[in-house]
Amino acid sequence: MPVRFTRDDLRTIEMAAKARKQTVSELVRRGLLVEAKVTYKGYLIELTAEKSESAGYESTGWITNQSSGFAIQVTTPGQHPTKDAALEAGIAWCKEKIDLGRTNRANT
């Protein structure tokens, strides 16, 4: 499906993709799949739940500092029986990392 963007929209999208080290196509595809979007203490948490290789679901996504635009990719720990459980646990985990000041290395 063809989609048209204004020149300004495309610049904004390109900058967001660059900050996330993704192509514009990757950014748009992931953006369409985001299942949970939460703003918390100046950060934007965006997650999706995916079937894990072993069993259950895990959440993956981004924590973005809204003032700097700096984004880090995260895969939250744990296997969960449902998508909703994975998203809820993932959001709680991301908030904990933000509270602890560990958003520069969120996977630790």
Residue in the structure block whose two tokens are 């994975």: 86
pTM score of the predicted model: 0.71
How is residue 68 annotated by DSSP? T
Q: How many CA atoms lie within 13 A of 42 on its CB side?
A: 9
Distance between terminal CA atoms of the chain? Answer: 39
Tens of pLDDT, residue by residue over 10-56, are: 888 888 788 777 788 887 777 777 889 999 999 999 999 988 877 88
In order of their start, the domains of the chain are 1-33 (no CATH), 34-105 (3.30.160.350)
> Could you tell me the CA-to-CA distances from 19 to 14, 24, 40, 66, 88 in Å, in that order?
9, 11, 20, 12, 26
**Phi and psi angles of residue 80, each rounded to the nearest 5 degrees, phi first:** -130, 150
Tens of pLDDT, residue by residue over 54-107, are: 788 999 898 999 888 888 889 888 889 999 999 999 999 999 999 998 765 544
Sign, Cα dihedral of 77, 107, 29, 87: positive
pLDDT exceeds 50 at position 108:
no
